[in-house]
A = this chain, B = another copy of it.
Amino acid sequence: MTPNPITESHARLEELVPLYSAMRRIRQIELEIAKRYAEQKMRCPVHLSIGQEAIAVGVCAALKRTDQAVSTHRCHAHYLAKGGDLNAMIAELYGKSTGCCGGRGGSMHLFDTGAGLLLSLPIVASSIPIGVGAAFGFARRGEPHVAVVFLGDASLEEGVWHESANFAARHKLPVIFVCENNLYSVYTHLDDRQPSRPLTKLAEAHGIRAQHVDGNDLSALLHVMSEMVDQARNSEGPSFLLADTYRWLEHCGPNYDNHIGYRTEDEFNAWRIRCPVERLRNKLEKSGLWNAAREDTLTARIQTEIDAAFRFAEDSPFPELRTAAEGVYA
């Protein structure tokens, strides 16, 4: 099954320029985390999103800041795309008091309600019902917000996904499920975990509209997502967006791991050339909307921001030990 292609005008392409920058920013941040991980100052597991940036950016571009997304262990890109504070993210990875969870969460717990990343959780599929619950709350409180649930292909194996989908459909909640199918759960291929059939059927079984999109095509993602957001805001209920993509680095950690045997170099390369960042850059360059000079400026600007963020994290104080037992109860 190949996803539906989307065609676009020059005007729409122009809108993509800032989104390209957003993708590039995330890529550069993640690469920096990977580079610095060996310093052993970020002492928590890190699940990098390199290769999957288009989904985070394309999805969040269709949202308002007041809309709330929930995410998983692989949440950096979602947090950043939704407008989370870079300083607070890096500080969280450093375990500092200025982290978005005060250092208590680490890289798998990036929370920022203000930016609309309600939470991310390390237990597979555990945040799915939380997102549906947020949508339920919005509906009951008469608030116009939409909830977005980012989930991985393995989440679809957890029963709680289905329980959540059933309820979302039954109550026509304003929630959009965004499934990033990167073919793997840790080192286990989809085919070893699920029968062969389109993943969209899992949503459709619950009466949920589903669309299958090339997850490395930011433009297609934005297009489909915008439609789904409109439907959610118009009380037309939940949608499911299936986005094919690929994780470049190891499941957890800063390295390439194509050599360890769970996937082939060929498979990796086939996806590598479909790099979401390069693809959009090529497109923008062809349309004269981007060039090497702009790229250099962007890189430099982002690097300045990144350097500042790491400096911020390094300079921030650790939380004080005496606070360890505080805040268990509200």
Q: Please indicate which of the listed interface residues A160, A194, A196 has the most CB atoms of chain B within 10 Å of its own CB.
A: A194
Chain A interfacial residues counted at CB < 8 A: 21
Q: Flag whether A253 is at the interface (Cβ < 8 A).
A: no
Q: Considering the complex, which residues of chain A in the window 4-54 have a beta carbon less than 8 Å from any beta carbon of chain B?
A: none
Nearest residue, chain B, Cβ from A238: B195
Pick from B157, B159, B201: contact of A204, CB below 8 A.
B201
Q: How far is the CB of A178 from chain B (nearest CB, A)?
A: 18
The reply to whether the CB of A302 lies closer than 8 angstroms to some CB of chain B is no
For A202, what are the chain B residues with a Cβ–Cβ distance below 8 Å?
205-206
Tell me which residues across on chain B come within 8 A of A157, comparing CB atoms: 163, 166
A272: interface (CB < 8 Å) = no
CA distance A164 to B159 in the complex (A): 9
Is B201's CB under 8 angstroms from A195's CB? no
Residue of A162, A169, A196, A206 ringed by the most chain B CB atoms within 10 A: A162
Q: How far is the CB of A299 from chain B (nearest CB, A)?
A: 44
Q: A204: which B residues are within 8 A, CB to CB?
A: 201, 205
Asked if A207 lies at the interface with its beta carbon under 8 angstroms from chain B, I say yes
A161 at the interface (CB under 8 A from B): yes
Report how far A195 CA is from B169 CA in the complex, Å. Answer: 6
Across the interface, A158 reaches (CB within 8 A) one of B163, B194, B195, namely: B163
Q: Which of B159, B170, B194 is in CB contact (< 8 Å) with A194?
A: B170
Which chain B positions have C-beta within 8 A of A158? 159, 163
CA distance A196 to B208 in the complex (A): 10
In the complex, what's the smallest C-beta–C-beta distance from A77 to chain B, in angstroms?
A: 27
A159 touches B163 (CB 8 A): yes
Closest to A171 in B: B195
Complex formed: what's the CA distance from A202 to B205 in Å?
Answer: 5
Q: Which 4 A-B pairs have the closest CB atoms?
A: A159-B159, A205-B205, A195-B207, A169-B195
- Given A159-B162, A170-B194, 15 further pairs, Cβ under 8 A: A157-B166, A158-B159, A162-B162, A166-B194, A166-B195, A169-B194, A170-B193, A170-B195, A195-B207, A197-B205, A197-B207, A201-B201, A201-B205, A202-B206, A204-B205
